[in-house]
Amino acid sequence: MSWYRNAVWFVKGLREYTRSGYESASKNFNPADVEVNVAGRSFLVTGANSGIGKATAKEIARRGGTVHLVCRNKERAEVAKGEIVTETGNQNIFLHIVDISNPKEIWKFAEKFKNEHKLHVLVNNAGCMVNNRELTEDGLEKNFATNTLGTYILTTALLPLLEKEADARVITVSSGGMLVQKLNISDLQSGNGTFDGTMVYAQNKRQQVVLTEQWAKAHRNIHFSVMHPGWADTPAVRSSMPDFYQKMKNTLRTEAQGADTVLWLAVSSEATKLPSGLFFQDRQPVPTHLPLASTHSPPEDEEKLMEVLEEFSQKFKSTSPG
């Protein structure tokens, strides 16, 4: 059935995920939803030096929010921070250099951050699509380390801080590619069979949807959501999917269009009127499975994913410096 899932997903993508899909959907948007002042609220955005992360951070800054940029590359991050401050006039922009593929580094950062700042909204945007199987210095497959384990550790480490605030939110940037994957907990680090970076990425994005659903059940005081930005023209797409980019470049969404639903989920009062744990596209909750796609997983697999990630998480917490 994988050929069927891929074909249905691609046809759906051509119709909904491109720029024309956004333009069609946006006719039903209420501009007032995001015309808000969020001064006094604190936002943390990972992968914020380019693409959707930077576009999100910039729009939050325009609305007066305090924005913490979490980035891996210091030079590019400094440039992004300068651009955001200059364009928005908002001086409350803070930079943190953290590699989201390094669990010990995440723990160290989170413990320090909890002692120094407050947090209302976490945006898990950082991600990667590595097309060959690479291991981090901790022996973790790089896509899994960044997209799944890094997202899990940062979120769970910051939950106590979020729990203290009113209207706390966690938004995770996933992908419609997850629609072609069923949760596979037997090979989380993609060590078996032929390695396909696109499918590994899609599996990680399915895992993020499951994480969001599980967190929503466990933490009722926080509003969790996961979203698909559509197919946007970002540096990550250009570098990770060059063939796709060449074919689709004239139809891709802008970075701001890709970030629109992230912004809406982060600042709009309308977003939190909807249940926690949903998957969004263009400001609307959408199904997490294609019709007839057989991608549903049993509850015990979803619970097992949480258990395994918690085990990984604690292992790296116990060895983290400081």
Between helix 19-26 and helix 2-16 the angle, nearest 10°, is 60
Q: How far is residue 276 from each of residues 10, 132, 164, 207, 289, measured CA to CA in Å?
A: 28, 35, 18, 17, 18
| DSSP symbols for 216-267 | HHH-TTEEEEEE---SB--HHHHHH-HHHHHHHTTTPBPHHHHHHHHHHHHH
User: For 137, phi and psi rounded to 5 degrees?
Assistant: -65, -20
Residue 126 to residue 164: CA distance in whole angstroms = 24
- Fill in the amino acid letter for 213: E
Between helix 255-267 and helix 51-62 the angle, nearest 10°, is 50
Query: Could you confirm whether 201 is annotated as catalytic?
Result: yes
Residue 144 to residue 162: CA distance in whole angstroms = 25
Q: Do 253 and 16 contact (CB within 8 A), yes or no?
A: no
The per-residue b/e assignment along 244-259, b for 16 or more CB within 10 angstroms, e otherwise, is ebeebeeebbebebbb
- Fill in the amino acid letter for 47: G
Dig out the tokens for 272 from the structure.
Answer: 């939190």
With tokens 């939190």, the residue in question is 272
CA-based nearest residue to 232, from 125, 107, 89: 125
Q: Do 53 and 45 contact (CB within 8 A), yes or no?
A: yes
- Kindly name the residue from 22, 152, 201, 245 that is annotated as catalytic: 201
Residue 184 to residue 312: CA distance in whole angstroms = 17
Give me the active site residues, please: 201
